[in-house]
Structure 1
């Protein structure tokens, strides 16, 4: 697996969604994967790695940009079971977690046109990521927010 975008030797790099994209999706109650000392926040309540957001109870409308790589299926499963939120992940549609937690359970997805330039924890926008991204919506209201967001891409309604 290519981890150049996710990790560099001896350091963990957290990649943050551009705030202008999250603003287009509306207000969120919880971000369970917020970095420590974030340059900007995406929700009213933010759990960091110190809080272990995966082990906490989730509430309200969730914005999830999970740690990529091993364990991402656990984050997607938790959001699926919570049923109210939007996730941003790589568009790796062939993966087990995509089949187990997205294709049959999400309300909608939005394949982003082009590639998102994420921010690092210092608020500096990165170079180009290694893969395209997709937003995943759980819950009818989140599907509508995704559809009406104005984020350029291809919207697919999965719950007819």
Structure 2
């Protein structure tokens, strides 16, 4: 691969936005995902977060750290692979999220030049809402998939 940067399809941002902050924005982006962007050069994890956050975090082991930060912030939506059995989900999604949207089919992410990837993501994706505002955005978004309102769920 020439790059490990995989941009969120713009139709998802349009359906869920607007957002105040994207704390893990790519250096080069053909469209904005929020009013304010932190890139790898800004170290978004160490900066202050305000408002409604959009997050397509770096995938892999570091995704848990980003989800933990968003869970603590309590106002935003993250896009990650739907690995519901993982430690990351049990630590940062199940106890804190307010809603989930399991996206129908597999996403085609975009390259930094804006072109759509030829192959799909290779795994199912989920949008995770933290906070009531984010849950409402997610549930009312029109993004095709299965919605789960965790505010109404009862833990076993």
What's the TM-score bracket when you normalise by the shorter of the two chains?
over 0.9
**Matched residue, 2:101:** 110
Q: 2:121 aligns with which of 126, 129, 136?
A: 129
How far residue 19 of structure 1 moved from its aligned partner, in angstroms, is: 1.1
Shift of residue 141, structure 1, vs aligned partner: 1.3
Within the alignment, does 1:43 sit opposite 2:53 as a pair?
no
What is the root-mean-square deviation of aligned Cα atoms in Å? 0.9
TM-score, normalisation: structure 1? 0.91
Which blocks of at least 5 consecutive residues in structure 2 are unaligned?
none
Of 97, 112, 131, 1:139 maps to: 131
Within 5 Å, give how 1:8-157 maps onto structure 2. 8=1, 11-126=2-117, 127-157=119-149
CA contact (8 A) 1:13 1:120 kept: no
SS at match of 1:150: coil
Segments ≥4 residues shifted beyond 6 Å = none
Deviations 1:106-154 (A, max 9, x none): 0000000001111011111112111110000001111111111000000
Q: CA deviation at 1:37?
A: 2.1
Contact residue 80 and residue 106 of structure 1 kept, 8 A: yes
> Per-residue deviation at 1:26?
2.1
Matched residues in 1 for 2:62 and 2:15: separation? 28
Give 3-state SS (helix, strand or coil) of 1:134's partner: strand
Consecutive unaligned residues of structure 1, counting only runs of 5 or more, are 1-7
